[in-house]
Amino acid sequence: MSNLQALGEHLIDIHSQHETLQLVDDAFQFQVIDALANTEANLEAYNLHLKEHKVLQKQLKQLQQFQAEAIKEHDYNSFLLNELVAANLKEGELEVLEEEYELLNNVEAIQLKLEQANALLSEEQAGVLTSLREVKVAFQKLASISNTYQDLLDRVTSSLIDLDDVLVDIERFEDKLDADPNRLEVVNAQLLTLNNLMQKHLVKSIEELIEIREALSKKVEATENADQDIVDKQEEIKALEKLLNTEAKNITDKRNKAIPELKKQLEALLTQLGMPNAQFNISLEASNTFLYNGKDNLNFLFSANKGGQFNVLKKAASGGELSRIMLAIKSILSKYVKLPSIMFDEIDTGVSGEISNKMADIMSQMSTKMQVFSITHLPQIAAKGNTHYKVYKEDVNEVTTTNLVKLNYDERVVELAQMLGGTQLSDSAIAHAKQLLN
């Protein structure tokens, strides 16, 4: 339904007494001036840049709000960041330090175990290697007697080789192993620092601390760069405002050029409609702000009587005068813009017979460029139509229904005569009706 309603507004313009109130609205008055000024392309470009201007203003406000909030936290964030940077965090570092700490902290116990292992393997009298060599000699003798023992000899030989390698590694570890209290203190301090940082930031790994460090770095950098970001945004807005001012001036110049022509045409049409002393005082005042349609404030003043003071339309014009002004404006608009089909709903309210005849002429002239409907009770207007429909109500089975019927020539004569003289038709009313139609 809403889509149909929106489409309908582009297809038909229903003008009733209520729509006459549009006359006192700035937007409608600008629409009339802009139609004569041919500002459509200018307004389109202006509105495009005005939307961009609003976006930039919103972005600037967000930057300023961010800066105000970030400044409060900047010192604390900088302290946290410096703390994490000083820790020189590396992925996997915690596990490496913990292993080194265990090694340094247990040097004596490790040394003792290595010495024991070395002795068990290499002791000349009861060492494992000495005994295993004796076993090897025994199996060599057995293997020389029978191949059955060759496999055992091979296995013993292999074990002897492995244990020799083990002894070499034990001796190497013994040589490398060295108690280093200073290094133990350094490692312990590093572990303490890392554990304190993890506890402080409520995390369980170095990798999570690195993520926090990167996030803090971005926050601190953004805060420190906020001044420049704001300046850059302000410069961007300033350049766009310069363009908007140029576009707004072009719109203003075109409007000022069109206003005298609009005033001339309006006053000429209103003279035809029985308002020979009608005058308009239309002027533009510069606005300090960017409005939706430029930088103009509009003064659209009217005086109906000679020597009368100019005032806004709603105070200076009566209901009948407003109807005639609206008709004149619609007539002018039809010359400059493609209007939809228009329906005048009793636009003749409050006007005399002669004036209604002039209004009918204007509507008839408009119908050469567009489709015009007029709902009227005045015969002078009804007679000017190319086609005449009668709308009436009747009660059928205690239900009121509204009917619409197209009238032929004879029916039009009767209807116009009734509009002129009532239901009792007279010869003069019939003759007058025919005269109106001809």
Q: What pLDDT, on the 0 to 100 scale, is given for residue 124?
A: 67
Question: Tokens 């009861």 identify what position?
Answer: 126
Q: Can you spell out the DSSP letters for 124-181?
A: TTT-HHHHHHHHHHHHHHHHHH-GGGHHHHHHHHHHHHHHHHHHHHHHHHHHH----H
Residue 316 has pLDDT above 90, yes or no: no
Spatial distance between the Cα atoms of 301 and 280, rounded to a whole number of angstroms: 6
What are the tens digits of pLDDT across the range 333-367?
Answer: 888 887 778 888 777 766 667 788 888 888 888 88
Spatial distance between the Cα atoms of 320 and 47, rounded to a whole number of angstroms: 36
The residues near 289 (Cβ < 8 Å, ≥ 6 apart) are 295
Between residues 377 and 21, which one has the greater pLDDT? 377
Phi, psi of 90 (to 5 degrees): -135, 140
Q: Name the token pair of 389.
A: 């429909």
- Which is it for the CA torsion 266, 268, 270, 272, positive or negative? negative
Residue 254 has pLDDT above 80, yes or no: yes
What are the strands, taking DSSP E only, across 47-88?
Answer: none
Q: What pLDDT, on the 0 to 100 scale, is given for residue 15?
A: 64
Averaged pLDDT of the chain: 83
CB atoms within 10 A of CB 301: 17
Residue 179 has pLDDT above 70, yes or no: no
Residue 32's pLDDT band, with cuts at 50, 70 and 90, is very high
Residue 11's pLDDT band, with cuts at 50, 70 and 90, is low
What are the tens digits of pLDDT across the range 48-78?
Answer: 999 999 999 999 998 888 777 776 676 677 7
- Residue 202, classed as helix, strand or coil, is coil
Residue 4 has pLDDT above 70, yes or no: no
Q: What pLDDT, on the 0 to 100 scale, is given for residue 92?
A: 78
What are the tens digits of pLDDT across the range 191-242?
Answer: 788 888 888 888 888 888 888 888 878 777 776 667 788 888 999 999 999 9
Residue 369's pLDDT band, with cuts at 50, 70 and 90, is confident
Contact 307, 336 (CB under 8 A): no
Contact 78, 194 (CB under 8 A): no
Q: What pLDDT, on the 0 to 100 scale, is given for residue 88?
A: 82
Residue 255 has pLDDT above 70, yes or no: yes
Spatial distance between the Cα atoms of 160 and 176, rounded to a whole number of angstroms: 25
Give the up-direction half-sphere exposure of residue 372: CA atoms within 13 A in the CB hemisphere. 25
Contact 42, 254 (CB under 8 A): yes
CA-to-CA dists, residue 71 to 61, 221, 227, 229, 388, angstroms: 15, 12, 11, 14, 76
